[in-house]
Amino acid sequence: MAFSTYMNVDLCILIGKLNNKFIIMQKLLKPVTLSLLTVISLQTKADTLSNVQAKGTLNCGVSTGLVGFSSTDSAGKWKGLDVDMCRAVAAATLGDANKVKFVPLTNKERFIALQSGEIDLLSRNTTWTITRDASMGMNFAGVNYYDGQGFMVNKSLGIKSAKELDGATFCLQAGTTTELTLADYFRSNHMNYKIAISDTAAQAIKGFAAGRCDALTSDQSQLYALKTTLKNPSSAIILKDVISKEPLGPVVRQGDDKWFNIVKWSLNVMISAEEMGITSKMLIKPLKILKHLVY
């Protein structure tokens, strides 16, 4: 930070001194300034642990509201599997599980927030895919939920299988694997479909309830969570078909191995603790066990 400020001041003085050649210099310096700032900002972001410790807070990206993963209760307290992941990393790095700033993000916003440094960790029911891992500058720390894409329809339609959905309209969310998998599934089964697209889960279920679509498609965990929010949950059913595998997990930026290891082992320790029956409520002597922890 200090270095970046120094460099900016330095460039400003230089530009000021060359007042009469200002326009030419500005043109010449612009790419240099930009690349310097890029390098500086990458360097700043590369030590996420130091940044988090300096701020005293972990900025953790979560969903805008998905019961079981990340949603707020009536007192405004964040709850769920993904929320607990954020808290575990805060406990590991700041010694306090409460030192988390939860940043609600839509599917479309989540990767930009991570890449830009707005968040230190993305813990938001995100599927581990080759494209996201290999070409978007991200690292998946592991899997905290094995999901798969499914379909919810109104019981009154009498539909039993996804193959009966030729020509149907689907409510789904933008910027998801859902969108791509649906296209693949319908293409390979030589069927047609239309979509009614939304940005959030809340909008998708609202659309389904209002009859904007014949079926809601998403990761099955979300379908079950959203079904409970319908006025009459038993009016809808979730079909048996699962058309993809969706390994969900926490994500960090590439290029910061120390931070990657912290998040990876926070996740592994939680999984192992659960296997061993260890909870935060217990007063334990776990260090001997954890020292030799193998995932």
Ligand X SMILES: N[C@@H](CCC(=O)N[C@@H](CS)C(=O)NCC(=O)O)C(=O)O
Q: Which residues bind ligand X (CB under 6 A)?
A: 63-66, 106-107, 125-127, 173, 176-178, 200-201, 218-219, 222, 246, 248
Cα–chain-centroid distance for residue 83? 11
Minimal distance in Å, beta carbon 99 to ligand X?
23
Residue type at 180 in one-letter notation: L
Minimal distance in Å, beta carbon 215 to ligand X?
14
Residue among 22 and 146 whose Cβ is closer to ligand X: 146
Nearest CA-CA partner of 123 in 281, 290, 264, 4: 264
Residue among 93 and 178 whose Cβ is closer to ligand X: 178
Residue among 214 and 219 whose Cβ is closer to ligand X: 219
Residue among 93 and 107 whose Cβ is closer to ligand X: 107
Those residues whose C-beta lies under 8 Å from the C-beta of residue 216, and which sit 6 or more positions away, are 151, 152, 153, 170, 171, 172, 204, 205, 207, 208, 223, 226
Minimal distance in Å, beta carbon 12 to ligand X?
41
Nearest CA-CA partner of 265 in 248, 278, 250: 250
Query: Containing H/E element for 13?
Result: helix 2-17
Minimal distance in Å, beta carbon 231 to ligand X?
18
Minimal distance in Å, beta carbon 193 to ligand X?
17
Q: How far apart are CA 94 and CA 103, in angstroms?
A: 18
Residue among 52 and 141 whose Cβ is closer to ligand X: 141
Residue among 219 and 256 whose Cβ is closer to ligand X: 219
Minimal distance in Å, beta carbon 175 to ligand X?
7
Residue position matching structure tokens 């460099």: 7
CB 208 within 8 A of CB 216: yes
CB 239 within 8 A of CB 80: no
